Amino acid sequence: MILIADGGSTKCDWAAMDYDGKEVLRTQTLGLNPYLVTTEKAVEELSKNAELTQISNKIKHVFFYGAGCSSKASKFVLEKAFTQIFTQAQIHIDHDMLGAAYAAYNGKPAIVCILGTGSNSCYFDGKNLREDTESLGWILGDEGSGSNLGKRLLLAHFVKKMPPHLEAAFNKSHNNLTVDEVNENVYKKTFPNAYVAGFSRFVVEHKYEPFMQNLIYQSMKEFVENQVLVYPEARFSEINFIGSIAHYYEETLHTVCAENHLVIGSVLKRPIDSLVKYHLLYIIPNLK
């Protein structure tokens, strides 16, 4: 049995199948970004999922594509956890950018972008993946992401730049949020990026308000400028987007890309379906 996972900082989607491509289960866990969780925490989270533990000893290959899994050290954090749960499996861990490239691949080279809790981009020609820009994480980078939108919203709230009716709605939905509460969650608790990204739900709920339209536009504009236009291929290749934020703000992405004479190909909210399809076509046949 083969287990495939698309792992973000907030959540992970899992799909298990046999070698003939028959699906066994779909499930979800919290995010397992090794910059935010320890091996012990990852084991704890996986152990809580009854669906995974019931088939754990039948899994022969685990293909995990996750946020934060770009270095040997970060991969090792999860590898130690996975070997404790999937004791009979060969463990394959790689960056979520490779998973996104596989999921978005439609037979021709393209720029692939992740817009979820965080953001990133690459150029993928079907075999080789190239990243021309560094991922700076949610504090220094992640333009166009949920955490970036959340930061922009919180800043507007605390410096009193939101229109009165939106300010009132925000205070009502967030119980008159204070700076102390935000600092407690950002500096002292786990998953600070996911916490800040959670505020982007308010942006989605009011995304057609002129103030929010501008906030979203500025974030997407910075993403395209900093993480798309750096690729020479951007001028003649499709730009494919992966992630919930790309899905919710697809209209704005089309506007920003059109202004820069870029062509959008596909926009996938959840890449797990396409990721499974790629493995069925290109990877699982080689395992038999």
Residues 29 and 154 in one domain: no
pLDDT at residue 64 above 80? yes
Confidence at 162, pLDDT banded by 50, 70, 90: very high
Residues 124 and 240 in one domain: yes
Residues 213 and 135 in one domain: yes
pLDDT of residue 231: 93
Residues 71 and 119 in one domain: no
Q: Which tens digits make up the pLDDT trace of 223-249?
A: 999 999 999 999 899 999 988 899 999
Residues 261 and 149 in one domain: yes
Q: Which tens digits make up the pLDDT trace of 269-279?
A: 888 888 888 88
Range of the domain at 279: 2-101+271-286
Query: What is the token pair recorded at 2?
Result: 């083969």
pLDDT of residue 153: 94
Residues 85 and 143 in one domain: no
Residues 79 and 114 in one domain: no
pLDDT at residue 147 above 70? yes
Residues 140 and 157 in one domain: yes
Distances from the Cα of 51 to the Cαs of 8, 15, 47, 48, 56, in angstroms?
19, 11, 10, 9, 9
Residues 155 and 237 in one domain: yes
pLDDT at residue 212 above 90? yes
Counting the structural domains of the chain, the total is 2
Q: Residue 264: which CATH number?
A: 3.30.420.40
Mean pLDDT lowest for which of 3-7, 206-210, 268-272? Answer: 268-272
Residues 194 and 227 in one domain: yes
Residues 85 and 161 in one domain: no
Nearest to 142 by CA among 155, 152, 128: 152
Residues 95 and 224 in one domain: no
pLDDT of residue 232: 93
